Structure 1
Amino acid sequence: MTARRPGADGAPAGDPPGDRAVSVPVPAERRHTLTFLSWARGAAPVFLDTEVDMSAVVAHRRAAERAGRRCSTVACVLHAAGRVLARHPDANAAIRGRGRPRIARYPTVNAKVALDKRLNGQRVVLAALLTGVHRSSLEQIQDELEYWRRGDPDRMPEFAGLRKMQRMPWPLRSWANSSAVSSLRRRPRTMGTFALTSLAHRPVNGFHSFGGTTITLGVGQTTERPVVRDGVLGSAPVMQLNLAFDHRVIDGAHAADVLTEIKEALEGFTDPADGGAAARERPLPGKGAR
C-alpha cells in the first residue's frame, strides 16, 4: 500500500476536480483483443532476439524502388520466414489440450500479420492471414500486404465475422473465439501457423509479443550502426529481430535454430525473381556500409 502526505491544511489530500479519473467501458471495437488475450493465457511463451545485418535487404529494396516497385521489410521477413518454417514442421505447428495435449504439424505456412487500423473510428489491432508464404514470391507477398494495408475494415468482407463478434455479449463472444481456434485442422485458416508484428514505423528496436502461434516474430526498426567486418570498422543497416516461441510445442534450442536461419536468410537475401541482382549490390566483408 502506498502512503501520501496530507494537504497543506492538514486535511487528506484529494484530487482536484479536473484531475479525477474518468471510468469508461472498453470500446466494443477492442473486445476481440481482450477475448484473444484471455484465450492466449494458456500458452507458455519464451522470448529470443538477434541482430540482423540488413544490407542485402536494403539493397534489394532500393533495386525494387528503382524499378518502380514497393518492397517492405515486412515482406522480406515473411518471405524468409516462410521458407525457413517449411523446413521446420515441428515449429510450424499448433497445440491443443492440457491433460492429453495433441500437436498438429502443417505442410503449408500461413502468416498472421498484425495490422494497425481504425475500426469505427477506434484505433485497434487486427490480423491479416497470408496463406502459403513458403511458396509465394516476394511480389505476391507485397501485393497481399498492400491489399490489407489499404483496406477499410469497416467495409472489408474479410472482417464481417469480427464485426459481428464485437456485438456479442462476453460469454457468446468467448465461445465464438474458442470455436474458431479450437480445431487443429482449421487453425491454419483462422490463426495462421506463425505470427508477425512490426513496430518498425517508429524508433522501436526490441519488443516481444505473443501472437497465439508456436512462433511469433517481432520486427523492429532498421538503423545504421557501427559494425566490424574482418577487423575493419564500418557501418551497416541493422535490425533487431525478436522471436517468441510456445514452450509447450518446441524447446529453446529448436527456436534458436529457427531464428538463426531466418537471420541468415535475411543477411543473404535474394528473391529468385531478380536473379540475385540485389544481393550483388551488397558490400564485401570489411568494405564498409552498403
Structure 2
Amino acid sequence: MTVRPFPPQRRHTLFFLDQIRDFSPVFLGTEVDATAIGASRDAARRDGRRLSVVAHVVHAAAGVLRKHPLANAAIQGRLDPTVATFDTVSAKVTLDRTLDGHRVVLATVIPELEDASLADVQEHLDRATAADPDTAPEFAGIRALGLAPWRAALERFREAAAQLHNRPAVTGTFSVTSLGHRAVDGFHSVGGTTITLGVGRILDRPVARDGAVAIAPVMRLSLAFDHRVVDGAEAADVLTEIKDALEEGPR
C-alpha cells in the first residue's frame, strides 16, 4: 500500500464537493434523437468548421433556461435562505485537462448565452480547450488554490462560492458535463448549479417510428436539479424542452 498527501492540483475538486453537501439533488433522464445534431455537425464540417455535441447542448439549454427563470437561479443559506434568479444565462462546462502533470477536472464558464450563437459557444469551448492549464490566465485561480496553505485555500474557495451575485461569472447559472467521448451511455452529476446536464455518447439504437422499428443515433441526456430551488415538474419541463430543441436542430 502506498499512502501520499492529497495532490494540491485537485484541491478545487475536493473543496467543490464539500461546498455542494447542502444540495438536495433529484435526477431525471431522457433520450434524444441525435439526427439533427449529426446533420448540423456534418454541415459545419463541409464548411470547414467544427461543432461539438457539447456546444449543441449548451446552446439549446441556454435558450430553454431563458424561459425558465426559476431554474436559472441559486439558493443560499439554511436558517434564512434566499434565492437569486439571474438576469443572464451562463454555462459551466467541465474539461478533462492535465495540470502540473496531474489529470484533473477544470471548468470554463461561457457568459451571456442569451446573446450567443452556436458558433459563439463553440469558439469559447475551443479557446478553453486550447488554453494551457499551467500558464493560462483563466486557470490562475485554480493554480493559486494549489499553492496556498490548505486552510487559506479552503476559505478562499468557500468565500468565492458563497457570493450569489458572482455565481454567473464564477460557477455559471447551469452546468454541462460530458463523458460521451468514451463508452458511457449516461450518467448523473451535480455540478454546483441548480440545473446540471450530463451528456452520454451518441450510439445507433433501435427506435419506433411510425409504428415500425428503425435505427437512429440516440444520446442519453440526464438532468440533476436542486430540489430546494425548483420542483420536479419545472425540471421535467426544462429537460423536455431541451430534448425538443436538440431534436429540432439549431436555429
Confirm or deny a common fold (TM above 0.5): yes
CA RMSD across the alignment: 0.8
The offset of 1:259, in angstroms, is 0.3
Identity of aligned residues (%): 54
User: How big is the shift at 1:270?
Assistant: 2.5
2: CA distance, partners of 1:183 / 1:30: 22
Amino acid aligned to 2:105 = V
The correspondence for 1:218, drawn from 178, 198, 204, is: 198
Match of 2:95 among 89, 101, 115: 115
- Mapped to 2, the partners of 1:164 and 1:139 lie a distance apart of 32
Q: Residue 96 of structure 1 is aligned with which of 72, 76, 87?
A: 76
Give the counterpart of 1:205 among 174, 185, 188: 185
Residue 171 of structure 2 aligns with which residue? Answer: 191
8 Å contact 1:93–1:193 — kept in the other structure? yes
Equivalence for 1:127 = 107
Q: TM-score scaled by structure 1?
A: 0.85
| Contact persistence 1:83–1:135 (CA under 8 A) | no
TM-score by length of 2: 0.98
1:256-271 alignment, distance < 5 Å: 256-271=236-251
Q: CA deviation at 1:213?
A: 0.3
Alignment size in residue pairs: 251
Partner of 1:152: 132
Q: Which has the higher contact order (CA 8 A, sep 6+)?
A: 2
1:5 aligned residue: none
Q: Aligned partners of 2:213, 2:182: CA distance in 1, in Å?
A: 27
1:92-136 per-residue CA deviation (whole Å, 9 max, x = no partner) reads: 000000000000001110000000000001000001010012321
Q: Determine the structure 2 residue equivalent to 1:275.
A: none
Unaligned runs of 5+ in 2: none
Indicate the residue corresponding to 1:63 in structure 2.
43
Please say if residues 44 and 50 of structure 2, whose CA atoms lie closer than 8 Å, have aligned partners that are also in contact: yes
Superposed CA offset, 1:119-173 (max 9, x none): 0010000010100123211111111000011111101011112111111222211
Is 1:36 aligned with 2:51? no
2 CA distance for matches of 1:206 and 1:73?
Answer: 14
- Alignment match of 1:53 (pick from 33, 36, 46): 33
Higher mean displacement: 87-96 or 126-135? 126-135
Which amino acid letter does the alignment assign opposite residue 152 of structure 2? Answer: L
Match of 2:211 in 1: 231
Contact 1:79 1:134 (8 Å CA) reproduced: no
Q: Which secondary structure does the structure 1 equivalent of 2:113 belong to?
A: coil
> What per-residue deviation string (whole Å, max 9, x for no partner) do you get for residues 78-103 of structure 1?
11000000100000000000000000
CA distance in 1, matches of 2:99, 2:250: 37
- Larger fraction in helix: 2
Runs of 4 or more, structure 1, over 2 Å off, are none
